[in-house]
Structure 1
């Protein structure tokens, strides 16, 4: 049994080995400033290798919606730059940015439709969590003894990027508003680490070695706390609660227990609303300046989108006024950023595949481990889209995108299997008789392979 548990998370194929290596060596690549380069190179390389071997067969309609949606993002880049006469140079630069940003979302989701197994990613992120568990006390000690937080900027910064923070190596950072230390580990800023580790917790949950699983998850949760992100502290508990309810939504006792709660909620609705308003005020008041700047950025982005570039956007972010501390208009919010930079067309290019994925996973995702993780990841990304530009961090949270692709893959197989059973086109086979039989996934029902049975197989064989 121990050997079986150990083997379950070992990579077998070349793409599994590459992906597991990239995850487990994240801190090493961070020290040389290579993560910003590694993510895009890894994604495109694995996609090309997978396409050469298997083509793009087996992609579901939902997967194609991601591919088409991200290609539409590239079209908006070209059209918006032409509309605003930004020039050939900025157009090429923005197209390269698309290839290592929005395009990666579709690239890694398509990779998830290949032969990558959730067990391999779970094992890899757990080992990363264990490394984090040992590193965080050392990084805290560096802050406690007064060591400098910023160490250096990698020479790889010459390849470009939105700023030096993508290539800088730090032991810790200081929040300028509160003066407290924050740890971003290998992310460009602290809240981004909360996003990454929240997604990784949902992947690590399926590691079969109990000690490794809980050690890894503990390291990830400590990283979420060390990031000091308000949304990080709120998002993961909410998503876990929603997942628990979602997995049991076909159980009658769930509705039996919740009926009294809804009744009590209706009786005390006014008091509950007051509590929610107080919590919201405290949440925004924890960092009032940050909340004020983000709200102002959103208002400016929406106003300029409506009045200046409704359909195709402005083509790129712009430096904001002093009111928003000169932060870029179109930043700190995925949806406002899409409206400002890529217009309504760009927003729909993301909203359509997201909603399609949510619908598919809602009804077909519960039957597989990858589907359960994918649903949680989609919810986490949805929450973080209200405070981060998701495309700018895709090079870091790409394991979550691969898991999302695996969840959509297994949901599509489950749907096809259910369709075959309904139509009666796949008659059942008595496994106790010799002959060719279909070996199916125990949960999804999808046919994995065929085997020849030469002798009697007990029907209760595990």
Structure 2
């Protein structure tokens, strides 16, 4: 009998499928922060096990060698640890702090590489990931009335904080069951769903949208897209709305770019853009000002945090960084220096070498996807997700949310492995 998308064909697909559809249950018990790293480790160990026993397996069941770009991710994330330890030694932070920081590295930067590696080498179908996300979307729509009504019927914003927080983490928000938050000053409700904060929910909504668009079943696709749009809009994240306009159409544009009619459609817009360039630039500057002014206090804090991170990186820890995150002054509401921005965070904590450790694999990945997206649906999905990560690297710390957006990392790994098939011989 032919297997359908509803049926997992191996243990790796089972683990991935049921972990995704258990998202809301894990959120309720505060287990999402644990489930992501545990799943990443299990999948990677499973891959290593099959490599170890490969000589005793039939050739058809052996795992393929990872694409060289996957190795760049693994080496770069391991270099993050070397750089991290060097930063600790430079500031004499002690063995205990090194151990604690190493655990944090394993739950963040290493986890990114592990999921990309697992997606590349294990026999996982992208359809399984997309179907599971669409099923989770259906559950999200069912729960939506509760979330929408909560701030208006007097339900508490936070239901509880799971005792699982004892295992450690960046803060209690990773283990909290929160129905909504109120915007400081205006008191307008925002929703974060199963994410630790609202902008992160917008990011996950974009990941879900990219995946839901690829679902072949019209019914499941509708559930997935509806849930993704709800997360993006109700999060009220400015970056998510920008991503909705930029990232979502990427797959369609690259699927049509080799067709002559597309260029005839684009040409008039290019000519008009040249004639009205000055007006367009003025409109973009106005839009940027309105974008920043929508939450002026948030923009001010983010810009100040970035400025402090760059100044202290240049003056105190150019190559290897400070090794640890530090709280900022009252001016930035005591937010961690370099937070809300992966690149500023890397410069402050891991220095210029740490920034290169992320920039190199990310640029290699994007370059490969720009080519494979022309001929491969998986390549187009990989490009959309890689662009999404690049965009959010300027608004979030990618390592702190890897436990949530790990399905995107799996699909990026699959798309990188697929680059082997689309390259000319």
TM-score by length of 1: 0.87
1:278 pairs with 2:286:
yes
**Residue 269 of structure 1, CA deviation:** 1.1
Counterpart in 2 of 1:128? 136
CA distance in 2, matches of 1:251, 1:208: 23
- Residues 274-313 of structure 1: pairs in structure 2 closer than 5 A: 274-313=282-321
For structure 1, the residue ranges without an aligned partner over 5 or more in a row are 420-462
Q: 2:58 aligns to what?
A: none
Quick check: which has more Rg, 1 or 2? 1
Aligned to 1:422: none
Aligned to 2:400: 392
Cα drift, residue 307 of structure 1: 1.1
* 2:366 aligned residue (358, 368, 371): 358
4+ residue runs over 3 A deviation: 54-57
Deviations, residues 45-101 of structure 1 (Å, cap 9, x unaligned): 111012101357411110000000000001011100000111111100000001110
Rounded to whole Å, the distance in 2 between the matches of 1:228 and 1:374 is: 25
Residue 85 of structure 1 corresponds to: 92
Larger mean Cα displacement after TM superposition, 361-370 or 391-400: 361-370
- 1:236 equivalenced with 2:244 (yes/no): yes
- The Cα RMSD (Å) is 1.4
Give, in whole Å, the separation in 2 of the partners of 1:204 and 1:253: 27
Q: Which residue of structure 2 aligns with residue 345 of structure 1? A: 353
- Residue 401 (structure 1) shift: 0.2
More helix by percentage:
2
| Aligned equivalent of 1:39 | 36
Q: For residues 235-274 of structure 1, what are the structure 2 equivalents within 5 Å? A: 235-274=243-282
Question: Which residue in 2 is equivalent to 1:110?
Answer: 117
What CA distance in whole angstroms lies between the structure 2 residues aligned with 1:196 and 1:333?
A: 17
Question: What is the count of residue pairs matched by the alignment?
Answer: 414
Give me the whole-angstrom Cα distance separating, in 1, the residues matched to 2:117 and 2:232.
28
Once the two structures are superposed, residues 344-380 of structure 1 have per-residue CA deviations (whole angstroms, 9 ceiling, x without a partner) of: 1111111110111111111123433322111100111
Q: 8 Å contact 2:254–2:373 — kept in the other structure?
A: no
Which residue of structure 2 aligns with residue 25 of structure 1? 22
Name whichever of 209-218 and 95-104 sits farther off.
Answer: 209-218
**TM-score between the two structures when normalised by the length of structure 2:** 0.95
Q: Secondary structure at the match of 2:249?
A: helix
1:306-385 equivalences under 5 Å are 306-385=314-393
Q: 3-state DSSP class of the match of 2:219?
A: helix
> Which of 401, 408, 414 is the aligned partner of 2:416?
408
Higher relative contact order (CA 8 A, sep 6+): 2
1:312-352 superposed Cα distances (whole Å, 9 cap, x missing partner): 00111111011111111021100111111101111111111
SS at match of 2:123: coil
- Partner residue in 2 for 1:430: none
Distance in structure 1 (CA, Å) of the matches to 2:273 and 2:213:
32
8 Å contact from structure 2 (residues 257, 374) kept in 1? no
Paired with 1:382 and 1:161, the residues of 2 have a C-alpha distance of 24
